[in-house]
Structure 1
Amino acid sequence: MAVRNILLVTASILGEHGQSRALAAHFKAQLEQRDDVQLTERDVVTLDLPHLDGEEMRSWMTDPAERDAHQHDLAARSDTLIEELLAHDLIVLAVPLYNLGIPSQLKAWFDRVLRAGKTFRYTENGPVGLVEGKRALILAARGGQYAGTALDTQTGHVNSLLGLMGIQDTDWIYAEGLNMGEALRDRAMGEARQAVTHYVTERL
């Protein structure tokens, strides 16, 4: 699938000091050589999305013609983010590992783009994704070394969240052991940057 539009989602509470943000910056730098793609950036931390609650979910279930002004504003959070996601071919998630999970800000984003009737639907055989023709790249930055172990609950979780929408074509680039000494950190980030460069030159 040809990639023309890329959505880069960052989720580091450390801002420019985050290692996942550094990987995102390297990804952006590699795109500077390309004039055939368009990049949109979305920092879910600055979106300041609240935790999803029943009132907001009920706004989705209310016919648009019957929503009051407050319900319209609540539903617009999800509508806008879904429209943005659907407008892009490749979804790049720069994801730090916080307490063995994804940042709560990223979960709040997923809670708005994962919406029954919009990005997936329920059937007698279970949920079916409605988002077609998309790919995902996850840039995972971690203080410890977890990939392939029982403590890596993040990889399966993110794959399941994307898969629920129908995004099954996913690639992961890990930078691990970043808090386990300077030498290991530098090696891991160097290898991750090389993997990002290879992805941009060979997969896009």
Structure 2
Amino acid sequence: MPHILRIDTSAKPEGSVTASLLDQIEARIGKATNRRDLGRAAVPQIDGTWVGSNFTPSDQRTEAQKAALALSDELVAELQAADTILIAVPIYNFTVPGSLKAWIDLVCRVGVTFKYTETGPVGLLEGKRAIVAVASGGTKVGSEIDFATPYMRHILGFIGITDVTFIAADQLAVLGDESKTQAESQIETLAA
């Protein structure tokens, strides 16, 4: 049975399109084994203490540095354990929500989820699948003003996750239910 990690990021407590899409994706491919709702329980921004702790060799970290990295370690362990990662991405001001960016900063760790080589960075989370549910009011996915989906494809690839599928309910303010119907059709094509 696959291990599925679900990451919700909408700031809307009710009526989130991306949450609804993830519910439908789960119904199609299987229930999430683990969930994070960053819209309701945001993770903190990285700060100087976190950065200093992260760049201290693990065998030399103080107890305070280990504590500063504890949540990051937990989030990374969730990613490492997952076969499939479901991520909700409502497009806010042409890009990802701040809560998702904070999560990304906590999980992108040199020597843990990626490494540097002579030929450039190499992701260490290979062999995983990501399904990204996107919703937007006016931004068309793939357009010149969509900074969310290229960023997500890049950042997931950066940590080694190159099997990425986007399910888009975009331009909801323009297309309304038609956009949701198109996204639901995309979900029906997903393999379990």
TM-score in terms of structure 2 length: 0.92
Deviations 1:113-171 (A, max 9, x none): 11000010111211111111101111100111422321111111111100110111111
Count of residue correspondences: 192
- The percentage of counterpart residues that share the same residue type is 36
Q: Distance in 2 between matches of 1:20 and 1:46?
A: 14
3-state SS of paired residue (1:48):
coil
Q: Distance in 1 between matches of 2:64 and 2:166?
A: 39
Give 2:74's aligned residue.
Answer: 80
Moved more, 65-74 or 132-141: 65-74
Q: Distance in 1 between matches of 2:137 and 2:115?
A: 36
3-state SS of paired residue (2:176):
helix
Of the three residues 99, 108, 111, the one matched with 2:105 is 111
Do structure 1's residue 195 and structure 2's residue 189 form an aligned pair? Answer: no
**Pairwise CA RMSD:** 1.8
Give 1:156's aligned residue.
Answer: 150
Q: Distance in 2 between matches of 1:71 and 1:46?
A: 26
Deviations 1:173-203 (A, max 9, x none): 11012122xxx2111112212221321xxx2
Give 1:101's aligned residue.
Answer: 95
More helix by share: 1
What are the equivalent positions in structure 2 for 1:1-204 lying under 5 Å apart? 4-31=2-29, 39-180=33-174, 184-199=175-190, 203-204=191-192
Gaps of 5+ in 1: none
Q: AA paired with 1:133?
A: G
Q: AA paired with 1:146?
A: K
3-state SS of paired residue (1:71):
helix
> 1:27: how far off?
2.0
Q: Distance in 2 between matches of 1:137 and 1:190?
A: 18
TM-score in terms of structure 1 length: 0.87
| Residues 26, 32 of structure 2: 8 Å contact kept | no
Q: Distance in 1 between matches of 2:144 and 2:57?
A: 43
